[in-house]
């Protein structure tokens, strides 16, 4: 189980053995504890093996409260020495990378049918946009200068090349399957968690910014594209230091809508003991009991694979290329990821995990 904790140190105390002297045993069966203690020899009590606990990665035994014990091999690991870093103490069993079969599986090849089922794409939908249609679509959008000035959301432009698009989808499907997650591009509500009626933007303390009608149209256009299997040009890749991370497969312009952060909606109060590292604030209500989070632990989309910047370094801030924004859309709260500058092909996506609350520990992020 979880962390090494100094209060757990001696699981079995080795008490000094007491044996009555010859002939004494019959006279007196029991001795008082005081008597026992008087006669007992002083011995050093081994503090079980945990006092020698060291991190198998850096070899140090410092910060033992941050050392996790593997339930498989019993070795210790500093949370920040693990890759990817473990930011919260896991609840229940925890296995190191060697003992866990949680290694990144290579990207799987899927049949067209399987991809369509996995992403729930309608039958006739998954076809390439013809270059001509794509050109017309682009022409209709306004010139860049105007777009920049008015800060309107831009729809993403899916990759036209069919094979390339399949590879992007395969990379996401493989990563989701590896984490035993289903794909969902919408917020989901399940019994036992917060109901849909709990997601009301007017509960937000201080109010929530309302999305403009024009931006809602862009959002709807992107949602419709996604239903046809046309996603933003992104790939999920695995990095030994950062775990899964998202790479850009074609240039993306400033203010481009990337995706909505999705998963099961639940009350924050239900998740106090949740060790998930991908929960996202959805609603910060004046009444804390009404506050909501998005939990992509069973269902989610590409957003749960996007990594965060290190809030403690200048480099971290330079890396940021997305902003995470919350909006009221038709009275409901939603969280969106939007390009905060032009992003080049090959760049990885990063945003600030501490945009709303400064609770996410990022000091060990690369």
Which positions touch ligand SAM (CB under 6 A)? 84-85, 87, 241-245, 277-278, 304-305, 307-308, 310, 365-366
Contacts with 149 (C-beta within 8 Å, 6 or more apart), sequence order: none
351 binds, among ligand SAM, Zn ion, none (CB under 5 to 8 A by kind): none
366 binds, among Zn ion, ligand SAM, none (CB under 5 to 8 A by kind): ligand SAM
Find the part of the chain contacting Zn ion (CB under 5 A) among 89-97, 108-116, 311-319, 354-362.
89-97
Residue 144 is a binding residue for Zn ion (CB under 5 A): no
78 binds, among ligand SAM, Zn ion, none (CB under 5 to 8 A by kind): Zn ion
Residue 96 is a binding residue for Zn ion (CB under 5 A): yes
304 binds, among ligand SAM, Zn ion, none (CB under 5 to 8 A by kind): ligand SAM
Residue 125 is a binding residue for Zn ion (CB under 5 A): no
Return the residue of 79, 81, 176, 250 that touches Zn ion, per CB under 5 A: 81
- State which residue, 53 or 329, has the beta carbon closest to Zn ion: 53
- Minimal distance, residue 360 CB to ligand SAM, in Å: 8
Residue 73 is a binding residue for Zn ion (CB under 5 A): yes
- Minimal distance, residue 243 CB to ligand SAM, in Å: 3
- State which residue, 15 or 73, has the beta carbon closest to Zn ion: 73
Which residues form the interface with Zn ion (CB under 5 A)?
A: 55, 57-58, 70, 72-73, 78, 81, 96, 99
């Amino acid at each position: 189980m979880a962390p090494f904790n100094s209060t757990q140190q001696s699981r079995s105390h080795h008490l000094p053995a007491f044996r009555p002297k010859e002939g004494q045993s019959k006279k007196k069966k029991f001795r008082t504890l005081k008597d026992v203690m008087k006669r007992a020899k002083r011995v050093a009590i081994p503090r079980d093996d945990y006092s020698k606990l060291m991190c198998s990665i850096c070899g140090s035994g410092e910060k033992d409260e941050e050392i996790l014990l593997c339930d498989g091999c019993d070795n210790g690991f500093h949370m920040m020495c693990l890759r990817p870093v473990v930011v919260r103490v896991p609840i229940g069993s925890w296995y190191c990378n060697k003992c866990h079969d949680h290694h990144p599986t290579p990207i799987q090849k899927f049949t067209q049918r399987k991809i369509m089922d996995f992403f729930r794409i309608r039958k006739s939908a998954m076809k390439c946009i013809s270059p001509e249609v794509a050109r017309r679509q682009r022409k209709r959008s306004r010139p860049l200068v105007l777009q920049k000035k008015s800060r309107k959301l831009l729809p993403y432009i899916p990759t036209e090349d069919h094979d390339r698009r399949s590879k992007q989808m395969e990379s996401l499907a493989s990563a989701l399957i590896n984490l035993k997650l289903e794909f969902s591009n919408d917020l989901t509500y399940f019994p036992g968690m917060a109901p849909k009626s709990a997601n009301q933007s007017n509960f937000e303390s201080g109010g929530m910014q309302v999305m403009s009608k024009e931006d809602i149209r862009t959002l709807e256009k992107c949602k419709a594209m996604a239903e046809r299997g046309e996603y933003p040009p992104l790939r999920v890749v695995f990095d030994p230091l950062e775990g899964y991370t998202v790479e850009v497969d074609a240039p993306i312009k400033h203010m481009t809508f990337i995706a909505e952060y999705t998963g099961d909606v639940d009350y924050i109060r239900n998740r106090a003991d949740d060790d998930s590292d991908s929960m996202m604030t959805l609603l910060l209500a004046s009444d804390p009991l009404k506050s909501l989070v998005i939990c992509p632990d069973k269902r989610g989309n590409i957003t749960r694979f996007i990594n965060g910047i290190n809030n403690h370094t200048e480099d971290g801030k330079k890396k940021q290329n997305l902003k995470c924004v919350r909006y009221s859309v038709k009275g409901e709260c939603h969280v969106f990821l939007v390009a905060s500058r032009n992003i080049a092909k090959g760049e990885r996506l990063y945003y600030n995990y501490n945009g709303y609350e400064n609770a996410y520990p990022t000091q060990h992020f690369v």
